[in-house]
Amino acid sequence: MLKQVEGSVAIAESVALCRPEVICAYPITPQTHIVEALSRMVKDGRLHPCEYINVESEFAALSVAIGASACGARAYTATASQGILFMAEAVYNASGLGLPMVMTVGNRAIGAPINIWNDHTDSMALRDAGWIQLYAETNQEAADLHIQAFRLSEAISLPVMVCVDGFILTHAYERVDVPTQEQVDAYLPRYEPRQVLDPAEPVTIGAMVGPEAFMEVRYLAHHRQMEAIGLIPELAAEFHAVFGRDSGGLLHAYRTEDADTVVCALGSVNGTIKDVVDELRDDGVRIGSISLCSFRPFPMAALASAIGTAKRVVTIEKSLSIGIGGNLSHNLRMALQGRGGEVHTVIAGLGGRSITRESLRRVFREAIENRLEPLSFLDLDRGVVERQLERERQVRRSGPAAEAILRDIGAVAARPV
């Protein structure tokens, strides 16, 4: 049914249609509206049977999901930013134990400095934790990916993170086609656990594993992710058959045929990128873009094929791997091994800074004209940085850097009264 709804509400509706049996909630902006909406559905009996648990931390939230999943229940939680770091230990644990569950990440920056706005630093920090990571481009895809995520997670016994850009998607009111219960029931079978805590058949889960077998156990998770590379497109195709629309899959290629320049990015920024691609195409520039939906597993073959014979790839990345640069480009270079072409990493939109069409157009032009550095920072104010570095050279006790920079740029809150 078509609805004009907030992204978070669309996600909550989708999750509810998947009949989760245990939901753990801990508030953190910007995912909070999702668990709020789900709490209403459980409380008014619309989502039943379901245990909704208000926990005392994100660490507990994921731990409750681990216990529930190990007892054969379909488990869901949502988090963001500091929350995913606070639960980091349990994030690794859930995948190491091979327990299926779905978690929404309302992507948000990581402090310090504390910042509630969108970037991908949070989920990127946990990219190697063994979870499948899917990134939604639109609110429709965000809603749809959750349905596919439960199916995928339970099929391969690995947890799945659905990454949704905070505010840009979670708080945006857009038209979303919310599926019917019949459609979801037809697509998502009952959860049949591979391992379950049952007094009738006692098992020990989570035994200590030494050097003699640890590598094999961890390798299994990698193997499952490699299997997921085949399964994700199959599930997207089956989704299309039931729901009548394209959502998910490994990636979405846009006007990449014959492209000399291919832009690659995760999440909602792909909307802006596609607009700029259209503008440049109108000017006769051979450019296309790829929205990478599955970051883990990283679909190397599909990506290499979509990039084709392009001369250069520009990544627009909302996370900074401090000390080297890009996470996406670092992975993408693996997909391009043995072939020519340049990869330009553009770090953009950290802490919610707007990524404008104008800035993207400029940076793509620079790439095409061979003027773009291998690593660049979109709309970074070098003057502000230089002045702070100069202050630090001049005075040993230069004080907190963030406050000095705010004073420099004249942010209202930093002005002396």
Partner 1 sequence: MSGPAQVKFYQTGTFTIGNRLLDVSVRSVQADENRSNSLTSGHRACQGCGEALGARYALDTAMRATGNRIVVANATGCLEVFSTPYPESSWQMPWLHSLFGNAPAVATGMAAAMKVKGRTDVRVIAQGGDGGTVDIGFGCLSGMFERNDDVLYICYDNEAYMNTGVQRSSATPPAARTATTPAVGGEPGNVMHQGKNVPLIAMAHGIPYVATATVADLRDLEYKVDRAMGIHGARYLHVHVPCPLGWGSAPHDTVKVARLAVECGLFPVFEAVDGEVVGRRTIRRRVATDEYLKLQSRFRHLFSPKRDEERLAAIQAIADRNIARFGLLGEGVPA
- Residues at the interface with partner 1 (CB under 8 A): 21-22, 24, 49-51, 53-57, 59-61, 63-73, 75, 89-90, 93, 97, 197-199, 201-210, 213
Distance between CA 233 and CA 331 in Å, rounded?
20
Q: Which is nearer to partner 1, 67 or 233 (CB)?
A: 67
Q: Which is nearer to partner 1, 90 or 343 (CB)?
A: 90
Q: Which is nearer to partner 1, 54 or 354 (CB)?
A: 54
Q: Which is nearer to partner 1, 27 or 72 (CB)?
A: 72
Tokens describing residue 163: 């990454």
CA distances from residue 150 to 173, 187, 310 in whole angstroms, order as listed: 24, 10, 35
Compute the least distance from the CB of residue 88 to partner 1, in Å: 11
Compute the least distance from the CB of residue 26 to partner 1, in Å: 10
Compute the least distance from the CB of residue 216 to partner 1, in Å: 11
Cβ(302)–Cβ(313) below 8 Å? no
Compute the least distance from the CB of residue 215 to partner 1, in Å: 13
Distance between CA 77 and CA 60 in Å, rounded?
11
Cβ(183)–Cβ(176) below 8 Å? no
Tokens describing residue 283: 């000017």
- C-alpha 230: how far from chain center: 20
CA distances from residue 89 to 58, 130, 295 in whole angstroms, order as listed: 11, 12, 21
CB count, 10 Å around CB of 237? Answer: 12
Question: What is the DSSP pairing of strand 132-135 with strand 75-79?
Answer: unpaired
- C-alpha 46: how far from chain center: 29
Compute the least distance from the CB of residue 93 to partner 1, in Å: 5
Q: Which is nearer to partner 1, 74 or 318 (CB)?
A: 74
Q: Which is nearer to partner 1, 189 or 374 (CB)?
A: 189
Compute the least distance from the CB of residue 13 to partner 1, in Å: 20
Cβ(104)–Cβ(133) below 8 Å? no
